[in-house]
Structure 1
Amino acid sequence: MTEPHPTVTAFQGFNRLARGALAEVALAVRGAQALDRHAAILVFDDRTGAVVDLDLRGDADAVRRRYALAAPEQPDPARGRGRPKLGVIAREVTLLPRHWDWLATQPGGASAALRRLVEQARLSSGASDAERARRDAAYRVMAALAGDLPGFEDASRALFAKDRTRFEHRLSAWPDDLQAHLIALAFGDARPTSPGA
């Protein structure tokens, strides 16, 4: 099962300019900057909340090609270690001697045992990991766009307390696009819990 293609969201001030694939958002940002060279536009990765720097040099076709071809980083097939054709990447792991002793006794060796442990942990904590990732992404965007807005600290506390009702209440005086985006990032949807919240 493949993961959905990542999306990004561009904000011009507190107004959502565009949301979608990187190529289409880059073109929207380019268009907005053509109308106003000094437009304050921030683009955020919807999975992480990190700011995405765009290279908008060249004409629209150049920008479209640059980002339409952007793909997740692939392992380097020239690497000698690991199993690059399977996507296995060799990296350093630091463990205590007793951990290495235990791994040495496991079927398939240390690498196979570590892969099994990681998969078990990933499956058992998948929901809480996803919830934490959404919360962290929402906080990054909130800090970048709304750090100076009234109620920011209270909204942050509500977010990390997982109190959706209080979070939405603290955001209720903020611009609509910003509210909707933060709620969608934090809770996986844009539906308010109560009318006017």
Structure 2
Amino acid sequence: MQLPSKYFQDIKLLQILVKYSNSDLDIEVENENMWKELNKIFPNNNLLEKRMYELNNEGIINYEEIGEEGFAPIIIATIKKETHFFLTELIEKAEIEVIETETVLKDLLTFDPDVLTQNIEKAQNNLTSAKKEAENNELLKPILKPIEQIEKHFKSVAAVSQIYDDVYKNIIRPIQKEGEAGVKQTVKWAIISIIVSTILSIIIGNWKSLYELL
């Protein structure tokens, strides 16, 4: 999963547009502070313009540039109810990503490599037994080749397991021992904090504006 969320750019973009819109839903395009904030998200003005037109075509906002080539265009832009609905949908998707990320990280931090090693060894022993039986039985000899192929795969899995075991012992296990207070200082909690704070800032900072669109 990519972090920060692929939805964040649009969430922040729409947040800024809502922030700089008036009671008539017109976006204050003459406000330089708005463009400064937008340029932090889209340093490339061409990409910003492209995304604004895409949102216009998708019916999320109204956006149009009028003017002759070589002259600064007149920009007409407004938000609408669809802006709120789309923003809400993006926030919900971002929240789902937060939960999925927490689950993945929790599984990673609580995973016991010893169990994996035991399961691999058990499966390898079963394969060895099956191979011996196949070698001593003419009827079972056709399965020798598949067994050998499976054995090769298990060697690869065992190698990966060994690498993970080193990572577990040197990185993950020390983090586990620190407890939750210590883990909060790690990348896990840094990532989650960024996601949650971004979503909360959008909801709290623009609740009144969003509510008026309903």
The TM-score by the shorter chain falls in which range?
A: under 0.3
- What TM-score, normalized by structure 1, do the two folds share? 0.26
Higher-Rg member (1/2): 2
Higher relative contact order (CA 8 A, sep 6+): 2
